[in-house]
Amino acid sequence: MTNGNGTPPEAGPAPQLSVLAQYTKDFSFENPNAPASLTPQQKAPAISIQINVGANNTAQNEFEVTLSVHGKAEHGDKLMFSFELAYAGLFKIENVPQENLPPLVMIECPRLWFPFARKINATAVRDGGFPPLMLGPRAFVSLYPQNMGPGTGGGQPP
């Protein structure tokens, strides 16, 4: 493809995604029924996990992206453990068209954070006296519509 005078069009600056910082914003682990909750059980507990993503534009081309992971394990009507983690980071994103920013911020950025959040939760559950909880891979592309919907608190990037 040429620009009309036989030469190829000039390419603009390459898109850039830089991690400026990553951090635990908030974390809680509870084992309210210990030591009774640590005794061997006949059947596996019911485990529920909820994952959400939020983002805020903090400065020009900078976005704070927060991956929130909430989980609990119950055996019958007894809570065995629960945890809440908000793992966040600051990204600088340059040379990306405005229409491509929301999926980049809400899909690709949390995909980078997920292994760190998984390790924090697995370690906390293990340190709480249970086998480590290994969260499986997540498809953040399927969370994208829910996290961008009205009233979700997802924080749409501009």
pLDDT single digits (tens) 12-61: 788 899 999 999 999 999 999 889 888 877 788 899 999 999 999 999 99
Phi, psi dihedrals of residue 96, rounded to the nearest 5°: -115, 130
Indicate the pTM of the whole model: 0.78
The DSSP secondary structure of 23-88, one letter per residue, reads EEEEEEEE-TTTTGGGS--SSPPEEEEEEEEEEEEEETTEEEEEEEEEEEEEETTEEEEEEEEEEE
pLDDT single digits (tens) 56-89: 999 999 999 999 999 999 998 899 999 999 999 9
Query: What integer pLDDT is reported at residue 5 of this predicted model?
Result: 58
Query: What integer pLDDT is reported at residue 139 of this predicted model?
Result: 74
Higher pLDDT, 110 or 2: 110
pLDDT single digits (tens) 119-154: 999 999 999 999 888 887 777 776 766 666 544 344
Query: What integer pLDDT is reported at residue 125 of this predicted model?
Result: 95
Report whether 108 contacts 139 (CB < 8 A).
no
Is residue 156 pLDDT above 50, yes or no? no
- Which residues have a Cβ under 8 Å from the Cβ of 114 and sit 6 or more positions away? 67, 135, 137, 138, 140
Phi, psi dihedrals of residue 84, rounded to the nearest 5°: -140, 130
Query: What integer pLDDT is reported at residue 148 of this predicted model?
Result: 64
